[in-house]
Amino acid sequence: MSIDAHFHCWRLARDDYGWLTPVLSPIYRDVAVSDWRAQSAPHGVTGGVLVQAAPTEAETDFLLTQAEANPAVLGVVGWVDLLAVDAPARIDVLARHPRLKGLRPMLQDIEDAEWILQAALAPALQAMSDCGLVFDALVKSVHLPHIVTLAGRYPDLRLVIDHAAKPAIAAGEWQPWADGIAQLAMETGAMCKLSGLLTEAGHSPPPGAVRPWGEHVLACFGPSRVVWGSDWPVLELSSSYAQWWDETLLLMAHLSAHEQAAIMGGNARRIYRL
């Protein structure tokens, strides 16, 4: 009864995935929810959270349509123009959809690491908080201090860090990532996704390649604040669904059955209100 808290689907003909080009040949193809089910179901995954991959509201509508047609899609994390004058009204409308659980500005692609702290975003962020939506933070190490500040400004905003803030594992990055993760865990109520690490480890990483980073996430956030996700099919740039599943089980081997169940589903149900 596990939940995959982070997966994608896309249709290339929609043509708003600026980052998804033929250079990324392993994943440059149409991906349907049924394709994800073929990967996830054999491992006992019963549902998941479908996450945006394009910074358009049209894609959010597309994802909600997929959710309506597929009961295994328990929730959607979409996108909205947070700087739009009517952003709070747009957010309020989206939040009324029973499958819309969160929003994700693609902060990793914005040059200004402090972009999220600008005053013009305050109405939209307050609307997210008021509507009980999750803020999925697609960030890297450089953003982590600013997410701490964000959390202080909006104490009721439900924060989830995507992909453990994407440490550059292939390049051997430990600091400032490790201290940033520890500070965030200590000073905020944010949760962290145990996802995306194999992708950051490069092509075909050997078993155990991401273990120190995964262990640090678990040590800092504890089993009650970690949610598991596959980041499939982006995961296929480096590895497979099966390998990440097996690596996760090894990372959690020292935890109780109750703690493992929380990471693999219970925490996602709670934070996303699935």
**pLDDT value at residue 259:** 98
pLDDT for residue 67 is more than 90: yes
CA torsion 108-271-65-123 (nearest 10°) is -60
**pLDDT value at residue 153:** 97
Query: Mean pLDDT, to the nearest integer, of 36-59?
Result: 98
First to last CA, the chain: 13
Helix %, strand %, coil % for the chain, to 5?
A: 50, 15, 35
**pLDDT value at residue 36:** 98
pLDDT for residue 169 is more than 90: yes
- Judged on CB neighbours under 10 Å (0-12, 13-18, 19+), 25 is exposed
Percentage with pLDDT > 90 across the chain: 100
Query: Mean pLDDT, to the nearest integer, of 135-162?
Result: 98
Q: Where are the alpha helices (DSSP H) in the chain?
A: 33-40, 57-69, 87-95, 122-131, 144-153, 177-187, 197-200, 211-221, 241-251, 257-261, 267-272
Helix (H, G, I), strand (E, B) or coil at 200: helix
Percentage with pLDDT > 70 across the chain: 100
Amino acid at 195: S
Q: In Å, what is the CA distance from 225 to each residue of 41, 100, 153? A: 24, 21, 20
pLDDT for residue 1 is more than 90: no
Helix (H) / strand (E) containing 160: strand 158-161
**pLDDT value at residue 257:** 98
- Confidence band, pLDDT 50/70/90 cuts, at residue 102: very high
Closest CA relative to residue 137, chosen from 157, 160, 113, 154: 160
Distance, in Å, from the CA atom of 191 to the CA atom of 273, rounded to the nearest integer, reads 14
Distance, in Å, from the CA atom of 54 to the CA atom of 143, rounded to the nearest integer, reads 20
Residue 48 pairs in a beta bridge with: 4, 73
Distance, in Å, from the CA atom of 170 to the CA atom of 180, rounded to the nearest integer, reads 19
Distance, in Å, from the CA atom of 139 to the CA atom of 161, rounded to the nearest integer, reads 7
- Judged on CB neighbours under 10 Å (0-12, 13-18, 19+), 274 is middle
Q: How many helices (H) and strands (E) does the chain have?
A: 11, 8
Dump pLDDT digits (tens) for 223-257. Answer: 999 999 999 999 999 999 999 999 999 999 999 99
Which two structure tokens, joined as six digits, stand for 9? 């689907």
Q: Which domains does the chain possess? A: 2-272 (3.20.20.140)
Closest CA relative to residue 37, chosen from 29, 50, 28, 46: 46
Provide the mean pLDDT of the chain: 98
Q: Which residue has tokens 């747009």?
A: 90
Query: Mean pLDDT, to the nearest integer, of 21-30?
Result: 97
